[in-house]
Amino acid sequence: MNNTLISLYECRKLIGGLNPWLNLMIGAIGGWGLTRGMTYLSRPNIEMIVGGEAYLLQHTANEIKFLHVKVINKTRNLFMRFLFGNPTLNNARAWISFIDPVTKTEIFKINGRWTTTKEPINYDTNKVDFALAILPSREIIPAGEESEISIAIKSINESSTYAFNNESYLHKWKKSDFELIDNRYLIEVKVAADGNEWKKRFVLLNPGKSTANFKLIMQ
């Protein structure tokens, strides 16, 4: 019995001696966790969904279809807005990865083009502005607003489709390195701004030469 009491006493003494260090560690870990949590909750409330389908020269022999992903900076409810505000997505950059749906390996990745930004065209000369074409596209999206990112284009009666961004303007919209010959790809869209990242995967379908079934769907 005495040995048991001594052991308990020694354990309490040992723990008491470690308390300052334990308190310091717990405080440091707790502070880090709180800071990370507040940073995460304070970032823009971003949602990515399938965007609009656009056409050029629709219902003609030269019809081209464009696919997009929509990026929404959603407003918060009243309580969350009171705590964390409604931050703007600032100077956001995007990337699109094209992934083999079977092996899940990345085939290639391109800079994303925000459709609400200027085309890399000099409208005075009607020529491609090389500097703008190679410059990564960036966008600002206030809370409650949205923008779209170009994903791919397809010409009617062609089997292949092409990834599309500002560089595409240097190749009459069809850069050979961006050609997509299969009928199905996984697409991962990544948006980055102010040290934060958002990712979302979609499925690109291209089952034939018609533009009607050329589309994006949610994974």
HSE value, Cβ hemisphere, 13 Å, CA-based, for 90 = 6
35-42 contact pairs (CB < 8 A, 24+): 38/84, 41/80, 41/83, 41/84, 42/84, 42/85, 42/87
Q: Quote the CA–CA distance of 132 and 161 in Å, as a whole number.
A: 24
Across 177-185, average pLDDT:
97
Per residue in 84-135, pLDDT tens?
A: 678 999 999 999 999 999 999 999 999 999 999 999 999 899 999 999 999 9
Q: How many angstroms separate the CA atoms of 177 and 118, rounded?
A: 23
pTM for this entry: 0.81
SS3 170: helix
Distance CA 162, CA 205 (A): 12
Average pLDDT over residues 173-201: 97
End-to-end CA distance of the chain: 66
What's the CATH code, domain 45-218?
Answer: 2.60.40.10
What is the token pair recorded at 173?
A: 């919209």
Alpha carbon distance 105, 98 (integer Å):
9
Q: Where are the domains of the chain?
A: 1-42, 45-218
- pLDDT tens figures, 55-80: 999 989 999 999 999 999 999 877 76
